[in-house]
Amino acid sequence: MAEARDLEVVVFDVLGTMVDEPGGLRAAIRDAVPASDDGSVDQLLTVWRKHVEHEQQRMEKESRAYANTEIIDREAAQRVADCAGLTDPLAIERLATAGQRLKPWDDSLSGLTRLARRFPVLGLSNASRATLLRLNAYAGLRWHQALSAEDAQAYKPAPEVYQLAVDAAGCPSERMLMVAAHAWDLRGAQAMGMRTAYVQRPVGDPPKRTDTFNWSANNLDELVAALTAT
């Protein structure tokens, strides 16, 4: 069992773990297509998310060259617009940048602040550099350093993305903790030798029975308490 005293650096996933990505996209779709009811909004959100997932899988299989999230989000916004009959270019453009305006979970800011008093904290996100900059400012997320997968020209769980954090931290990967609400993200970090902590979120990817993570918490406050108890 890992102990907090063995850790030097804590790395956080951002989208879904620290901010409510689906909730923010849902709100942006509702603003862009105000006549939509809840069911229609959910259908349009599915269109968005399926496009993003499909294109990232294509890049993973090298059937498409790397494109950052600004490009993929703009494509997704256009698909949503086509499905909804939205033609206003300003509304489509605002929808395309919805990923820059995602609200933090209730415990994200306080938990990050508390943990940053004990450890250097890194954000490691699939969001592009420009999107991550604006998202951090909008949500009030204050990192010691924020890293974008764009610098690796890949998306998590590709190992080269986690390597960005290892290189930035300058310490052995086993002395680093990856925190995420997505089990698939933590598996990627484990493959790089990092310690892992699962934080439950309403929109996350829960662990499977076969997953074994070093910490598991119902919320970020609970995890922070465990990591700062000694």
Give domain limits for the chain: 4-20+102-227, 21-100
Output the furthest CA–CA distance in the chain (Å, rounded).
57
Band of pLDDT at residue 3, cut at 50, 70 and 90 = confident
CATH code matching the domain that covers 4-20+102-227, chosen among 1.10.3720.10, 3.40.50.1000, 3.40.718.10, 2.60.120.560? 3.40.50.1000
Question: What pLDDT, on the 0 to 100 scale, is given for residue 5?
Answer: 87
Band of pLDDT at residue 46, cut at 50, 70 and 90 = very high
Q: How far apart are CA 158 and CA 48, in angstroms?
A: 22
Question: What pLDDT, on the 0 to 100 scale, is given for residue 230?
Answer: 65
- Average pLDDT for 127-149: 98
Size (the chain), residues: 230
- Average pLDDT for 50-78: 97
Per-residue pLDDT tens digits for 187-213: 999 999 999 999 999 998 999 999 999
Would you say 12 and 185 are in contact if contact means Cβ atoms under 8 Å apart?
no
Whole-model pTM? Answer: 0.95
CATH code matching the domain that covers 21-100, chosen among 1.10.150, 1.10.8, 1.10.600, 1.10.3470? 1.10.150
Would you say 198 and 215 are in contact if contact means Cβ atoms under 8 Å apart?
yes
Per-residue pLDDT tens digits for 23-45: 999 999 999 999 999 999 999 99
A 10 A CB-CB count for 209 gives 5
- More confident of the two residues 4 and 63: 63
A 10 A CB-CB count for 62 gives 8
User: Which 3-state string (H, E, C) describes the chain?
Assistant: CCCHHHCCEEEECCECCCECHHHHHHHHHHHHCCCCCHHHHHHHHHHHHHHHHHHHHHHHCCCCCCCCHHHHHHHHHHHHHHHHCCCCHHHHHHHHCHHHCCCECCCHHHHHHHHHCCCCEEEEECCCHHHHHHHHHHHCCCCCEEEEHHHHCCCCCCHHHHHHHHHHHCCCHHHEEEEECEHHHHHHHHHCCCEEEEECCCCCECCCCCCCCCEEECCHHHHHHHHCCC
- More confident of the two residues 105 and 3: 105
Which residues make Cβ contacts (< 8 Å) with residue 72, sequence separation at least 6? 51, 52, 55, 56
- How far is CA 138 from its chain centroid? 15
Which residues make Cβ contacts (< 8 Å) with residue 39, sequence separation at least 6? none
Question: What pLDDT, on the 0 to 100 scale, is given for residue 181?
Answer: 98
Q: How far apart are CA 83 and CA 64, in angstroms?
A: 24
